[in-house]
Amino acid sequence: MEHDLTVQDVAREANCHPNTVRRYEQRGLIEAMRDINGYRRFSRDQVERLKELLEMRVTTEQGEN
């Protein structure tokens, strides 16, 4: 599995802020590899997982209102 997507790439595809991507990775909800310079790199699978998590968050928030 290739980890070739940057934080910005993932944020663009998941329609969220780059800080959201970083926060989800820091909390262990999605996984990232680090490149030689220490930058996060994500796989397409992790983008899909993030999208699912964000959708669940929206659904949960709507249910609370």
What is the pairing mode between strands 33-34 and 40-41?
antiparallel
Structural domains of the chain in order of their starting residue, each with its CATH number: 7-60 (1.10.1660.10)
Q: Is 56 helix (H, G, I), strand (E, B) or coil?
A: helix
Identify the sign of the CA torsion 19, 25, 26, 27. positive
For 1-36, the pLDDT digits (tens) are 788 999 999 999 999 999 999 999 999 999 999 999
For the ranges 3-12, 27-36, 40-49, 53-62, the lowest mean pLDDT is seen at: 53-62
Identify the sign of the CA torsion 3, 59, 27, 12. positive
Both tokens of 56, joined, read 């669940």
pLDDT of 57 = 82
pLDDT of 65 = 60
Q: Which residues are paired to 33 by β-bridges?
A: 41
pTM of the predicted protein model? 0.86
